[in-house]
Structure 1
């Protein structure tokens, strides 16, 4: 039996602590900045001791951005709602379309199936700028420019290939004999899919949905070009913090904290499904 010496245990603990501090320090520093004014943030040398203020958060919630020389109106909370709505709706549409498609690609081997699947995956390879101009012209012609429906449609370029390929792998790891036995007992295909395949692939679907939500939430370029200020997500709305009087670092820090809160809370809630989903099929019998 291998035993670990006390020195090795101490060194391992120190190494883990240093790694955690290295990755957590930027988040800690942003949290501190969110409670400081611009003058306090820009002082040299910086200090962790200061008089905290809620001015940055108050300005974001009320929509009144106060700078050293002026006061500006911003729509940060509206942008935050847009991000939540667009990401949630996009993932919901992606799951409705992607999960049955992933099951079909996993179970039904038809001519050209791999080519079709790879074509869908190639949407993730292409840079957004490659399709922005055609999409802009196309959306203006059919009336989808500056609409939530148009943005949700475009977000499928991000969400759908991700869900399709991740969930397909989980369906392929489920033994087909289980479904065949259920079908032999007299159940229809839809009942088998709903009661057998979906529950067994549940952790994988949850993991794919969480990752797709994060990718959709962080999207910037599509909403910047295809939507106006009242429909833009928080990633684009954050540009309002760069004003003529300078960069408002305190408001940016507070905006970062508020914008990552939903995804962070969702990740904490779904972490069990994420771990199960990412490990599903890692070891095959």
Structure 2
């Protein structure tokens, strides 16, 4: 019996190791690329033997990209700041709007409620190019083109439906009897919502917020069309590495490492909420 148990542990450990290698290998390879020059990266055959450099990271921080044709100005750190600002503000606004709406859809039955909820969800299915033309015209009329407020507004098409449907499913899993008991004790609806419903739904809210943050961070098309270089996130700013003298693979790799670090750190920190929130709330919703 002990031999069988040991064999199973070895197999389980081997399987976990293979899965980790499979999923982490691209990240490790990109990290190694970020410590090399273009010549080292493009040599054939590839080799793990090289002298590490930090020039690629220095170029990103200082904004000076050296190419075969000369020096090129970069705004990567500004793009990184834009990504943080747009993603955080968009998710915060979506949580403020989406959590009460999710509670209303979960607890109250009203005419066309399901139709309205599905319409909001359909915004996630619609291709971005479908709404970009009318949005660009409206933005010019309202003076929102190339503004943070305009981008945060349009990012609600990404974040709000996701938060609404995940959190709604989680609220539906919470027994209404708990809320009724708190209301009978003389507490208002708002106190019941903030002190009972939201704390019980916290894992689902955290999971929805994390997923919305990742989707907002990775968005490309909206910022490409509706903003200029000084307001664009890193996903669009990465286009600057494709120059007339060639593609700067080392700088691209360094930019990828810096740009995925915030979302990766956030995902690792909130992974317990992510797993619990998705497994309990989103499946039912």
Q: TM-score, normalising length from structure 1?
A: 0.96
The aligned residue for residue 95 of structure 1 is 95
1:231-242 matches, cutoff 5 A: 231-242=231-242
Query: Secondary structure, in 3 states, of the residue corresponding to 1:80?
Result: helix
CA distance in 1, matches of 2:138, 2:56: 40
Of stretches 262-271 and 114-123 in structure 1, the one that deviates more from structure 2 is: 262-271
CA distance in 1, matches of 2:233, 2:26: 24
CA distance in 2, matches of 1:3, 1:113: 59
1:193-272 matches, cutoff 5 A: 193-272=193-272
The aligned residue for residue 82 of structure 1 is 82
The aligned residue for residue 175 of structure 2 is 175
The aligned residue for residue 186 of structure 2 is 186
8 Å CA contact retained: 2:166, 2:282? no
> For residues 117-138 of structure 1, what are the alpha-carbon distances to aligned partners after superposition, in whole Å with 9 as ceiling and x for unaligned?
0000000110000000000011
Query: Secondary structure, in 3 states, of the residue corresponding to 1:280?
Result: helix
8 Å CA contact retained: 2:223, 2:232? yes
CA distance in 2, matches of 1:5, 1:200: 39
Once the two structures are TM-superposed, the CA of residue 273 in structure 1 deviates from its matched residue by: 1.8
> For residues 225-244 of structure 1, what are the alpha-carbon distances to aligned partners after superposition, in whole Å with 9 as ceiling and x for unaligned?
00000000000000000000
Residues paired across the two proteins, number: 284
CA distance in 2, matches of 1:120, 1:152: 17
Query: Secondary structure, in 3 states, of the residue corresponding to 2:80?
Result: helix
The aligned residue for residue 116 of structure 1 is 116
The aligned residue for residue 17 of structure 1 is 17
Is 1:106–2:106 an aligned residue pair?
yes
Unaligned runs of 5+ in 2: none
Once the two structures are TM-superposed, the CA of residue 281 in structure 1 deviates from its matched residue by: 5.1
CA distance in 2, matches of 1:206, 1:19: 26
CA distance in 2, matches of 1:216, 1:167: 18
CA distance in 2, matches of 1:12, 1:152: 45
8 Å CA contact retained: 2:170, 2:282? no
CA distance in 2, matches of 1:183, 1:153: 35
Is 1:143–2:143 an aligned residue pair?
yes
Name the Cα RMSD after superposition.
1.8
Structure 1 runs (4+) greater than 4 angstroms displaced: 281-284
Once the two structures are TM-superposed, the CA of residue 282 in structure 1 deviates from its matched residue by: 8.6
The aligned residue for residue 38 of structure 1 is 38
CA shift in 2, pair 1:160/1:2, >3 Å: farther
Q: TM-score, normalising length from structure 2?
A: 0.96
